[in-house]
Amino acid sequence: MKANRISTAVLGIQMLAGLGAVPALAAGNSQTLTGEVSDAMCGAKHQMPGNAAECTRACIKHGSKYALVVGDKVYTLETSDKAVLGKLNDLAGAKAKVTGKVDGDTVNVKSVGAGS
């Protein structure tokens, strides 16, 4: 009887450990999100006078990171690719489709295109 309980407990622990790995594996997949290009400091509510594009570009110049606002959620965009950064600058304040690996509230960006 004791051996049966021990093996059941071990099996349960193995199953829990396996389930814990599922979100980590899912986070490694590329996803495409559509939203408005903003900055991480302002998110969906721009603080500076002027339009969203001007505010986003000013905040980026002051050290903020690009962000993508999708509904109520704000994703910080991570990239060092100069072409991607240029495209984000062009699309500041506008709809964009961002493809990359989503990890919580961060997207490691692979590509950016105009959204619809």
CATH number at residue 59: 2.40.50
Domain range for 85 is 29-114
pTM of the entire structure? 0.73
Percent of the chain whose predicted confidence (pLDDT) is above 70 = 76
CA distances from 83 to 13, 25, 79, 88, 107 (A): 46, 28, 10, 9, 16
Q: What is the mean pLDDT of each run of 10 residues along the chain (116 residues)?
A: 52 46 55 96 86 94 96 95 96 97 96 90
3-state class of 61 per DSSP? helix
Instruction: Indicate whether 107 belongs to any domain.
Output: yes
pLDDT at 22: 43
Total domain count for the chain?
A: 1
Instruction: Indicate whether 4 belongs to any domain.
Output: no
CA distances from 66 to 3, 4, 18, 108 (A): 56, 55, 35, 11
pLDDT at 81: 95
Count of CB atoms situated within 10 Å of the CB of 40: 19
Instruction: Indicate whether 17 belongs to any domain.
Output: no
- Residue 116 gets which letter from DSSP? -
Instruction: Indicate whether 16 belongs to any domain.
Output: no
Instruction: Indicate whether 103 belongs to any domain.
Output: yes
Instruction: Indicate whether 88 belongs to any domain.
Output: yes
How many residues are present in the chain?
Answer: 116
Q: Write the Ramachandran bin of 43: left for phi over 0, alpha for psi from -120 to 50, otherwise beta.
A: left
